[in-house]
């Protein structure tokens, strides 16, 4: 505990993903008071044209557990 799945636009390098995972793991360990060895992070690449359908609509817009809301919307 904890496990985090990060979804990002496809195109980041493995080095960028690893740096992100390391930084998020450290922040989680410090903020939640758990051992760094207890943290796991996965990163999933999402095609930009699938973001709204696969992420925004399904996981962001109606989430009751979203603690950090995005600064964008798909409202017209």
In order along its 76 residues, the chain shows pLDDT tens digits of: 999 999 999 999 999 999 999 999 999 999 999 999 999 999 999 999 999 999 999 999 999 999 999 999 998 6
Q: What is the model's pLDDT at position 76?
A: 61
**Can you say whether the dihedral through the CA atoms of 73, 68, 9, 52 is positive or negative?**
negative
- The answer to whether residue 48 is catalytic is no
- What the block records as the tokens of 48 is 């930009």
CA 59 to chain CA centroid, nearest Å: 11
pTM score: 0.90
12 exposed, middle or buried (CB, 10 Å; 0-12, 13-18, 19+)? middle
Q: What is the model's pLDDT at position 75?
A: 80
Catalytic site residue from 1, 2, 29, 36: 2
**Domains of the chain, first to last:** 3-60 (3.30.429.10)
Q: How far is CA 3 from CA 13, 17, 54, in A?
A: 21, 16, 20
Q: What is the model's pLDDT at position 8?
A: 98
């Amino acid at each position: 505990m904890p496990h985090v799945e990060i979804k990002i636009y496809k195109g980041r390098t493995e080095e960028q993903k690893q740096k992100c995972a390391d930084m998020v793991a450290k922040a989680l360990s410090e903020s939640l008071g758990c051992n760094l060895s207890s943290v796991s992070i996965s990163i999933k690449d999402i095609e930009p044209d699938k973001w709204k359908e696969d992420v925004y609509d399904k996981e962001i817009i109606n989430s009751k557990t979203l603690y950090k809301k995005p600064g964008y919307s798909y409202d017209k």
